[in-house]
Amino acid sequence: METVAPYKEIIDVIKEKGGDTFKYCYQCGLCDVVCPWNRVRDFSMRKIVRQGTFGLTEIEQEEIWRCTTCGTCPSRCPRGVNQIEAGVALRKIGAEYDVYPGQAATVRNVVANLTSEGNSIGGERGKRADWAKDQQVKSFTESMEILYFPGCYLSYDPRLKKVAVATAAILNKAGVKFGILGEKESCCGESIRKTGNEDLFRKLAKENIKTFIDAGVKRVLVSSPHCYHTFKNEYPEFMVHFEVVHMNQYLVELIDAGRLKFVGEYNKTITYHDPCYLGRHNGIYDEPRDILKKIPGLVLREMVDNRENSLCCGGGGGRIWMETPKEERFSDIRLAQAVDVGAEVLATSCPYCITNFTDSSLDLTEPFEIKDITEIVQEVI
Ligand code: SF4
Ligand code: SF4
């Protein structure tokens, strides 16, 4: 068994890189029971933690790249082990040695894209605001109410640009004075941090923080739970505090203030998927449901795995950039759950979830749509 640094040395490296809680593990195996991977194939976080405890981690094994950081096992561990921190600590060692085995090899391209163009997709920085052409979207100025930060996928991905367009339409309809940063916006850095590339995360975060401060930003509106998570919980590590709101929260605010009214009907049965980084990581469960319940004609049904027990889409922790074999996609299980409750639409609030559900290999016979809540709201205002 090859190790980058044998026995005690690697234990110290893991501790130094933030994975210290692995030492409390008593090998009960609960993390493996709750992990979504074990619904599609064998995977043992317990074993990864065990190997770390004895300094026997092999960074060339693909297993350390499998965790989607969904947040389920840390919330259940009886010993308070933070498996995500322990796993990311191991990836930091891999990233430092430039070792990205198997499916993780694509991370190298993402690193290159983020470094050269500031986005994970590989679009030109100068085209970051192209989605906003013809959408009555202005550049952000200090006198505006809020900065809209669409993030990488909504700026470049053809499917997800529709979510950015829907968001702008809603904000304009509600009379919100908002603006964007355009090519001055960089990737929030959340997911690359989970691949262990701390240096690149810090570079991206510092670029955004400088831009926010220079532009006089106080309040930031985001569409991605990943941007939400890092702005709210990780950017304060740089001694800055911007108020961050996810679009689901902002929609509730606009509705409650009487600035947004539903004038149409949405006569469909819908089920809502809680994205890991909105739900389990940040406790936002009620707002999306409150919005959907207020839409005339809409019938909301819950899937078997909902709220704290939501099934991960498979896209967190950098997995969105890795190819998952068809038979191992969590998205197939999730779509089947949606169909089981009679849903015609699977609604969610995260670009990674929409990407993974759209890529599902499940062959559905009935017409079935995957939508961001913003797109549904746009149809009824
Ligand atoms: S749930 Fe916690 S204590 Fe149990 S095996 Fe997993 S990490 Fe160890
Ligand atoms: S965080 Fe989620 S994907 Fe990662 S090991 Fe735990 S349950 Fe599995």
pLDDT tens per residue, range 92-146: 988 988 999 999 999 999 999 999 999 999 999 999 999 999 999 999 999 999 9
Report the atom number in ligand 1 closest to the C-alpha of 22: 7
Q: How many CB atoms lie within 10 A of CB 239?
A: 7
238 and 282 inside one domain: no
CATH of the domain at 293: 3.40.50
pLDDT of amino acid 1 = 42
The whole domain housing 309 covers: 261-380
Report the atom number in ligand 1 closest to the C-alpha of 49: 7
Beta carbon of 115 within 6 Å of any ligand 1 atom: no
83 and 169 inside one domain: no
pLDDT, tens digit, for every residue of 60-84?
889 999 999 999 999 999 999 999 9
Q: Which of 255, 281, 307 represents a domain boundary (last residue)? A: 255
**What is the pLDDT averaged over residues 269-291?**
98
Q: Is the pLDDT of residue 5 over 60?
A: no
3-class DSSP assignment, residue 311: coil
Structure-block tokens of residue 131: 């989605």
d(CA 154, CA 159): 8
140 and 268 inside one domain: no
3-class DSSP assignment, residue 47: helix
pLDDT of amino acid 20 = 77
143 and 238 inside one domain: yes
247 and 272 inside one domain: no
Q: 53-57, 58-62, 271-275, 326-330: lowest mean pLDDT where?
A: 53-57
H helix or E strand, kind and range, residue 347: strand 345-348
Instruction: Indicate whether 352 belongs to any domain.
Output: yes
The full DSSP string for 182-197 is GGG-----HHHHHTT-
Report the atom number in ligand 2 closest to the C-alpha of 45: 5
Q: 141-150, 228-237, 322-331, 365-374: lowest mean pLDDT where?
A: 365-374
C-beta of residue 110 within 8 angstroms of C-beta of residue 189:
no
Instruction: Indicate whether 307 belongs to any domain.
Output: yes
Ligand with smallest separation from the Cα of 50: 1
Among protein residues, the one with the nearest Cα to ligand 2's atom 7 is: 35
Beta carbon of 338 within 6 Å of any ligand 2 atom: no
Among protein residues, the one with the nearest Cα to ligand 1's atom 8 is: 25
Report the atom number in ligand 2 closest to the C-alpha of 68: 3
Instruction: Indicate whether 1 belongs to any domain.
Output: no
Among protein residues, the one with the nearest Cα to ligand 1's atom 2 is: 77
**What is the pLDDT averaged over residues 366-375?**
92
d(CA 179, CA 177): 7
109 and 229 inside one domain: yes
Beta carbon of 28 within 6 Å of any ligand 1 atom: yes
**What is the pLDDT averaged over residues 270-291?**
98
246 and 181 inside one domain: yes
136 and 181 inside one domain: yes
Q: What's the structural domain count of the chain? A: 3
139 and 237 inside one domain: yes
Instruction: Indicate whether 174 belongs to any domain.
Output: yes
Strands (E), 160-224: 178-180, 219-222
Beta carbon of 77 within 6 Å of any ligand 1 atom: yes
Instruction: Indicate whether 3 belongs to any domain.
Output: no
pLDDT, tens digit, for every residue of 184-243?
999 999 999 999 999 999 999 999 999 999 999 999 999 999 999 999 999 999 999 999
166 and 86 inside one domain: no
Task: Spell out the SS3 assignment of 115-145.
Answer: HHHCCCCCCCHHHCCHHHCCCCCEECCCCCC
Q: Is the pLDDT of residue 4 over 70?
A: no
Among protein residues, the one with the nearest Cα to ligand 2's atom 6 is: 73
Beta carbon of 99 within 6 Å of any ligand 1 atom: no
Beta carbon of 70 within 6 Å of any ligand 2 atom: yes
Beta carbon of 310 within 6 Å of any ligand 2 atom: no
d(CA 10, CA 101): 19
Residue, of 149 and 359, whose pLDDT is higher: 149
113 and 199 inside one domain: yes
* Ligand 1 centroid – CA 22 distance (Å): 8
* Mean model confidence pLDDT for the chain: 94
Q: 41-45, 280-284, 356-360: lowest mean pLDDT where?
A: 356-360
* Ligand 1 centroid – CA 74 distance (Å): 9
Residue, of 2 and 195, whose pLDDT is higher: 195
pLDDT of amino acid 349 = 98
Instruction: Indicate whether 22 belongs to any domain.
Output: yes
pLDDT of amino acid 2 = 45
Beta carbon of 77 within 6 Å of any ligand 2 atom: no
Instruction: Indicate whether 2 belongs to any domain.
Output: no
Q: Which of 255, 290, 312 represents a domain boundary (last residue)? A: 255
Q: 30-39, 209-218, 335-344, 353-362: lowest mean pLDDT where?
A: 353-362
168 and 288 inside one domain: no
Beta carbon of 66 within 6 Å of any ligand 1 atom: no
Mutation test residue for ligand 2: of 33, 49, 67, 320, the one with most atoms within 8 Å of CB: 67
Structure-block tokens of residue 259: 């600035």
Q: How many CB atoms lie within 10 A of CB 321?
A: 23
Instruction: Indicate whether 203 belongs to any domain.
Output: yes
CA distances, 55 to each of 15, 44, 272, 333 (Å): 11, 17, 42, 35
How large a percentage of the chain has pLDDT more than 70?
Answer: 96
Q: Which of 77, 99, 121 represents a domain boundary (last residue)? A: 99
